[in-house]
Amino acid sequence: MILVVGHKNPDSDSICSALAATELLKARGLDAKPIRQGEINRETAHILEVAGVEQPEFRDSVAGEKIWLVDYSDLAQAPDDVNEAEILGIVDHHRLGDVMTVNPLEAWIWPVGCSCTVLFNMFKIEGAEITPAIAKLMMSAILSDTVGFASPTCTQKDKDAVQELAKIAGVDDVDAFIKALLIAKTDIEGLTPAQLVEKDLKAYPFNGRDVVVGQIELATLEQVDGQIDALEQDLVRRCEEDSLAFAAVMLTDITTATTRLLYKGEWAAKLDKHADNGVLMMENTLSRKKQGWPWLQAELV
Ligand SMILES: [Mn+2]
């Protein structure tokens, strides 16, 4: 049995890739099962409902198991006991991380917008059948990760994949499909400040210290107008509790590609020169991976 596991604090790609990769391994005649390391978000719940697919089982321990990683190759995002598992494969679209293996492995890491774009091409290369449900999962993950093709991470391979997957999934109106997805993506009603920060929080070891950067995708920045203080207090709390050098959250209006950055911690003063009256705006910033985090790395050195 091979366990297919996405990253901690799973996003839609992490869940959909685990489900799709499992089907690909089964098509190879292997026994495989998708797992998740955390609760699914509202967007992912929407996607699973549309596709009519059950969420993977929760499991955060993989000691003694054979595993595939999807959507990451960093130890910080893997199950804590990943060193006691045998990593057989990786499907990813991020920079190469720091996991190590004992034996040779299959590594499918492409500079595209979504792990599901890599998986779609693996299905094609291997001549494996893509069911309408799996097609819906994969196209949704691609549209989520690329924010409906608007992100600078989006490539022609992502667009081509969605076009082919939409045909298999029987989705005639891709624009309407994207709209419903983005509504689910930006639904933050009723979430507490801590839940908002946690929603899509990633840990990065940097210069010997720990840093976290979250992102909240919004239809308008007004959605968090009354919660700025509470969100900043939550960042302060995380710095204290987890000895972080820096904690930030990107508030991103996905309709205008405008981001407001909230930031706290020992290293916060390094960014103050970019703030205006305590408000740090990042124009034309949609992607944490391609825009937010590279900029922060340059500023925090
Ligand atoms: Mn991804």
Amino acid at 117: T
Structure tokens at 161: 């994949």
Q: Do domains 2-184 and 193-300 have the same CATH topology?
A: no
CA–CA separation, 235 vs 214, rounded Å?
A: 10
Tell me what pLDDT residue 133 has. 98
CA–CA separation, 28 vs 106, rounded Å?
A: 14
**Helix-helix angle 12-27:132-145, to 10 degrees:** 140
Cα 222 to averaged position of ligand 1 atoms, centre (Å): 27
Can you give the length of the chain in residues? 301
CATH class of this structure's domain 2-184: alpha beta
CA–CA separation, 136 vs 125, rounded Å?
A: 19
As to burial, measured by CB atoms within 10 angstroms (0-12 exposed, 13-18 middle, 19+ buried), residue 102 is: exposed
Q: Check: CB of residue 193 under 8 Å from CB of residue 231.
A: yes
The pTM assigned to this predicted structure is 0.89
Cα 276 to averaged position of ligand 1 atoms, centre (Å): 32
Q: What are the E-state strand segments in 49-119? A: 57-58, 66-70, 86-92, 106-109
The CATH number of domain 193-300, selected from 3.30.70.1150, 3.30.70.890, 3.10.310.20, 3.40.50.1820: 3.10.310.20
| Span 13-56, pLDDT tens digits | 999 999 999 999 999 999 999 999 999 999 999 999 999 999 99
Cα 277 to averaged position of ligand 1 atoms, centre (Å): 34
Cα 13 to averaged position of ligand 1 atoms, centre (Å): 5
Q: Which residue has the tokens 């199950």?
A: 79
Cα 29 to averaged position of ligand 1 atoms, centre (Å): 26
Tell me what pLDDT residue 122 has. 98
Would you place residue 99 in the very low, low, confident or very high pLDDT band (cuts 50, 70, 90)?
very high
Interval 90-99 mean pLDDT: 96
The ranges assigned to domains in the chain are 2-184, 193-300
CA–CA separation, 123 vs 59, rounded Å?
A: 26
Structure tokens at 122: 């693996």
Tell me what pLDDT residue 215 has. 97
Cα 146 to averaged position of ligand 1 atoms, centre (Å): 9
Interval 216-227 mean pLDDT: 94
| Span 50-77, pLDDT tens digits | 999 999 999 999 999 999 999 999 999 9
Cα 70 to averaged position of ligand 1 atoms, centre (Å): 8
Neighbouring C-beta atoms of residue 55, cutoff 10 Å? 16
Rg (CA), the chain: 19
**159 vs 142, 183, 229, 250, 257, CA distance in Å?**
9, 20, 39, 26, 19
Cα 278 to averaged position of ligand 1 atoms, centre (Å): 32
Tell me what pLDDT residue 65 has. 98
Interval 272-276 mean pLDDT: 97
Element (H, E) at 258: strand 258-264
DSSP H helical ranges for the chain: 12-27, 42-51, 115-126, 132-145, 156-169, 174-185, 193-198, 228-242, 293-300
